[in-house]
């Protein structure tokens, strides 16, 4: 067996070496030939994708709005024109009413007439779910809108001005105090008003009015305008703070609000657009490419960019197939333009058979950012540790190629004789010539890919999202901050991943195993570094430190074994390929020598042997006796999990809370799940994922059992 394993390892790396040499010479990736890179890069256009974004940015298109369905109609028509097959809209119920704002204006009528807001200029001036109104009333400042801020204020019959969230003011000032409406100048995403004084945040109030009220409205103003109203209310003398040319006494402001909105019955209607490029083996191991269609008016980057790029990628693949430059893929390529996250949860819950048909998901969200505006970084997001797989290896390889060829490097361009500033760049005709400011990052969810990664679904997925974004969810997420060059680069990355996955078979198994193994060595090196730091930080409690450090190394080895085992998806009928995956997967269970290095470090620190046996606490022993499983029905699992109280996870970071669920498989105990999640959080760092404590994991799992999302053995 050892000899066979050694031969397999030798075979893997001997096959990889020619590709490694190619990376150095021709700046490519082992997953695509040089000709395939040129074929894709020649055809993918950021300028064409931008034109789709331009159209989508017209509509205020939140879930179920009239604008959402107008955007749906555009995407369906564009998908057909791109040559996609079986273009259809999959109807889904909307958990709430369909809502569409028709018109809304806010005027200051005293001390001087001035229009403050008009949704004909931008839809986000009005908070979604606002009700009809035609009211003139005095304005009163209620600060952040808390109950404490309203003490001593008479707001009955008045419109309230707040720097806080509009729903809070609805609950405190309208429902309790009798106010007739709300004006807020709260920023989006907790931004500083000093950084974005003229940005209007996209906001909403609850569709269901507070008990005993008939509903109200909320206008949203930019911080500069809202603060100016506040200053007029505080001014005693004559002023002209809005520079109207008509000075007037301050201290009193009257507003007129006129709102016309439309509510449909509840539940309403939403859904997602699906279209397909059929492969030669239809219905098996499909690749799903996702972007989400719903957002506020504008939403050029979030996620008009992803939607436009999917339409462009569909055109590219169909054109290349038609021209004979590429063969029809083996696997189906399914394109989904979704109602973000909700569409996938609902679809998989009602159609669990779909899960078994999907090989992988690649997701685009916010992929068109001009990265120089706001110093944004394109995040290339790995899967969480519960779903680390071959896909991460392909993703890292192609993404690294893109980063290296679209950024400047001294050695390559100044003394190496290669083109400068970028050695093999992708630009767009109307785009910038900036570098590709991209970075691989540990898992982040909050977009469509997270549903595929659910432990109960189990589909590998990776995603692109740029951050920090100073424009998201505001009036400024518009065309001016989109870069056609970055659209093209990101679409090349997604296109290259999809291209390889669509054709990969058993002949690619050695390459996939080798790259996954090599990437895993890097992760294990990071695990060792973190484990050594744990030992250093626990010098006063060496046994406790040793236990935690061992967990990090142990869980890292298990992660890498699972990652290599995922390549089994490609072995087909090949016994040799299956044997190679099995042998390398077993090799992955070894820690690559990190355990021995950890022990050596312990000896140096404490002049003693590390504990021969790890002693478990009573709490750990109790956790080890509980083995949870997901309930059998995927629909019931998703439904019941929503009943788990938000406080059940204690101090757990939201993503680690999700990972607790993802590691549930009917075999791992509470304690096993804790160890896996603790190791993942430790590997990224406390600043990234926070702390993971056993009691928080136990509390969350117990709450999920009580909610009947999990069963307990």
**Which helix (H) or strand (E) is 83 found in, with range?**
none
- % of the chain residues with pLDDT over 90: 87
Residue 211 is predicted with a pLDDT of: 85
pLDDT tens digits, one per residue of 445-484: 999 999 999 999 999 999 999 999 999 999 999 999 999 9
Average pLDDT, the chain: 93
Report whether 57 contacts 297 (CB < 8 A): yes
What does the pLDDT average to over 305-311?
98
Residue 591 is predicted with a pLDDT of: 63
**Which helix (H) or strand (E) is 591 found in, with range?**
none
User: pLDDT tier at 539 (50, 70, 90 boundaries)?
Assistant: confident
pLDDT tens digits, one per residue of 48-98: 999 999 999 999 999 999 999 999 999 999 999 999 999 999 999 999 999
What does the pLDDT average to over 392-418?
91
Closest CA to 519 of 437, 440, 450, 596: 440
Q: Where are the domains of the chain?
A: 1-27+505-614, 31-96+268-504, 99-263, 616-713
Quickly tell me which residue has 């994991």 as its tokens.
Answer: 697
pLDDT tens digits, one per residue of 171-196: 999 999 999 999 999 999 989 999 99
**Which helix (H) or strand (E) is 175 found in, with range?**
none
Question: Where on the phi/psi map is residue 654: left (φ > 0), alpha (ψ -120 to 50), or beta?
Answer: alpha
| Of the listed ranges 159-168, 379-388, 587-596, 696-705, the one predicted with least confidence | 587-596
Query: Exposure string (b/e) for 216-225, b if CB count within 10 Å is 16 or more?
Result: bbbbbbbbeb
pLDDT tens digits, one per residue of 16-59: 444 444 444 457 899 999 999 999 999 999 999 999 999 999 99
Report whether 72 contacts 269 (CB < 8 A): no
Please, is 263 exposed, middle or buried when counting C-beta atoms within 10 Å of its C-beta (0-12, 13-18, 19+)? middle
Report whether 516 contacts 393 (CB < 8 A): yes
Please, is 710 exposed, middle or buried when counting C-beta atoms within 10 Å of its C-beta (0-12, 13-18, 19+)? buried
Residue 325 is predicted with a pLDDT of: 97
Residue 428 is predicted with a pLDDT of: 98
The torsion of the CA quartet 536, 539, 543, 548, rounded to 10 degrees, works out to -30
Residue 360 is predicted with a pLDDT of: 98
99-263: CATH topology is Glucose Oxidase; domain 1 (3.50.30)
31-96+268-504: CATH topology is Aminopeptidase (3.40.630)
Closest CA to 606 of 682, 676, 545, 693: 545
pLDDT tens digits, one per residue of 220-254: 999 999 999 999 999 989 999 999 999 999 999 99
- % of the chain residues with pLDDT over 70: 96
Copy the structure tokens of residue 190.
Answer: 């907790």
Residue 23 is predicted with a pLDDT of: 42
User: pLDDT tier at 680 (50, 70, 90 boundaries)?
Assistant: very high
Residue 20 is predicted with a pLDDT of: 43
Give the CA diameter of the chain.
92
> With 60 as the cut, is the pLDDT of residue 10 above it?
no
Residue 614 is predicted with a pLDDT of: 85
User: Which sign, positive or negative, has the C-alpha torsion 591, 592, 598, 600?
Assistant: positive
| Of the listed ranges 156-170, 213-227, 348-362, 538-552, the one predicted with least confidence | 538-552
Residue 590 is predicted with a pLDDT of: 64
What does the pLDDT average to over 336-355?
97
DSSP state of 171: I
> With 80 as the cut, is the pLDDT of residue 416 above it?
no
What does the pLDDT average to over 696-708?
97
Residue 16 is predicted with a pLDDT of: 45
Q: Mind spelling out the 3-state secondary structure of 644-701? A: CCHHHHCCCCHHHHHHHHHCCCCCCCHHHHHHHHHHHHHHHCHHHHCCCCHHHHHHHH
Residue 304 is predicted with a pLDDT of: 98
Residue 579 is predicted with a pLDDT of: 95
User: pLDDT tier at 592 (50, 70, 90 boundaries)?
Assistant: low
What does the pLDDT average to over 498-502?
98
């Amino acid at each position: 067996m050892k000899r066979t394993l050694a031969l397999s390892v030798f075979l893997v790396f001997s096959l990889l070496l020619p590709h490694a040499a190619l990376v150095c010479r021709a700046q490519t990736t082992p997953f695509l030939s040089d000709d395939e890179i040129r074929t894709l890069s020649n055809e993918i256009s950021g300028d064409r994708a931008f034109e789709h974004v331009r159209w989508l940015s017209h509509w205020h298109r939140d879930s179920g709005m009239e604008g959402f369905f107008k955007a749906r109609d555009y995407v369906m028509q564009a998908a057909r024109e791109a040559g996609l097959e079986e273009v259809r809209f999959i109807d889904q119920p909307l958990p709430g009413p369909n809502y569409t704002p028709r018109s809304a204006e806010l005027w200051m009528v005293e001390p001087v007439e001035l229009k403050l807001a008009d949704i004909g200029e931008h839809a986000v001036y009005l908070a979604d779910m606002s009700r009809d109104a035609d009211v003139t009333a005095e304005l009163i400042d209620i600060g952040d809108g808390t109950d404490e801020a309203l003490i001593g204020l008479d707001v009955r019959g008045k419109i309230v001005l707040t720097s806080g969230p509009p729903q809070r003011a609805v609950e405190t000032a309208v429902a309790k105090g009798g106010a007739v409406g709300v004006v807020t100048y709260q920023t989006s995403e907790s931004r500083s008003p000093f950084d974005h004084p003229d940005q209007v945040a996209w906001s909403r109030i609850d569709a269901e009015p507070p008990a005993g009220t008939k509903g109200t409205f909320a206008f949203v103003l930019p911080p500069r305008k809202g603060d100016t109203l506040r200053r007029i209310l505080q001014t005693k003398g004559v002023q002209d703070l809005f520079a109207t040319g008509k000075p007037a006494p301050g201290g009193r402001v009257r507003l007129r609000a006129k709102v016309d909105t439309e509510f449909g019955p509840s539940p309403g209607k939403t859904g997602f657009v699906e279209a397909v490029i059929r492969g030669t083996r239809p219905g098996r191991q499909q690749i799903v490419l996702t972007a989400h269609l719903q957002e506020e008016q504008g939403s050029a980057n979030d996620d008009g960019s992803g939607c436009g790029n999917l339409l462009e990628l569909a055109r590219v693949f169909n054109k290349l197939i038609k021209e004979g430059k590429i063969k029809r893929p083996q696997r189906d390529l399914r394109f989904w333009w979704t109602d973000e996250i909700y569409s996938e949860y609902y679809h998989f819950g009602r159609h669990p058979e779909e899960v078994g048909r999907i090989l992988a998901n690649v997701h685009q969200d916010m992929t068109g950012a001009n990265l120089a505006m706001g110093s944004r970084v394109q995040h290339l997001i790995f899967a969480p540790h519960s779903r680390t797989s071959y896909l991460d290896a392909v993703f890292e390889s192609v993404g690294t190629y893109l980063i290296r060829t679209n950024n400047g490097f001294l050695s390559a361009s100044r003394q190496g004789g290669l083109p400068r500033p970028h050695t093999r760049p992708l630009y767009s005709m109307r785009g910038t010539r900036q570098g590709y400011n991209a970075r691989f990052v540990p898992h982040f969810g909050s977009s469509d890919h997270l549903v595929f990664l659910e432990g109960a679904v189990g589909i590998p997925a990776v995603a692109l999202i740029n951050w920090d974004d100073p424009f998201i969810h505001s009036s400024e997420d518009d065309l001016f901050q989109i870069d056609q060059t970055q659209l093209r680069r990101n679409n090349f990355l997604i296109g290259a991943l999809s291209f390889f996955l669509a054709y990969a078979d058993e002949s690619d198994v050695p390459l996939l195993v080798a790259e996954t193994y090599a990437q895993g060595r890097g992760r294990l090196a990071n695990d060792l570094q973190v484990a050594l730091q744990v030992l250093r930080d626990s010098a006063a409690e060496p046994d406790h430190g040793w236990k935690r450090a061992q967990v990090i190394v142990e869980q890292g080895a298990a992660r890498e074994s699972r990652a290599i085992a995922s390549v089994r998806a490609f072995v087909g009928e090949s016994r040799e390929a299956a044997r190679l995956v099995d042998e390398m997967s077993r090799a992955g269970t070894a820690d690559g020598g990190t355990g021995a290095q950890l022990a050596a470090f312990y000896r140096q620190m404490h002049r003693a042997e590390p504990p021969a046996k790890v002693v478990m606490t009573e709490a750990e022993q109790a956790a080890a006796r509980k083995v949870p499983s997901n309930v059998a029905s995927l629909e019931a699992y998703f439904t019941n999990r929503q009943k788990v109280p938000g406080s059940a996870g204690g101090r757990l970071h939201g993503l680690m809370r999700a990972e607790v669920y993802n590691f549930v498989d009917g075999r791992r105990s509470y304690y096993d799940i804790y160890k896996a999640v603790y190791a993942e959080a430790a590997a990224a760092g406390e600043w990234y994922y926070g702390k993971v404590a056993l009691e928080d994991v136990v509390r969350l799992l117990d709450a999920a059992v009580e909610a009947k999302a999990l069963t307990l053995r």
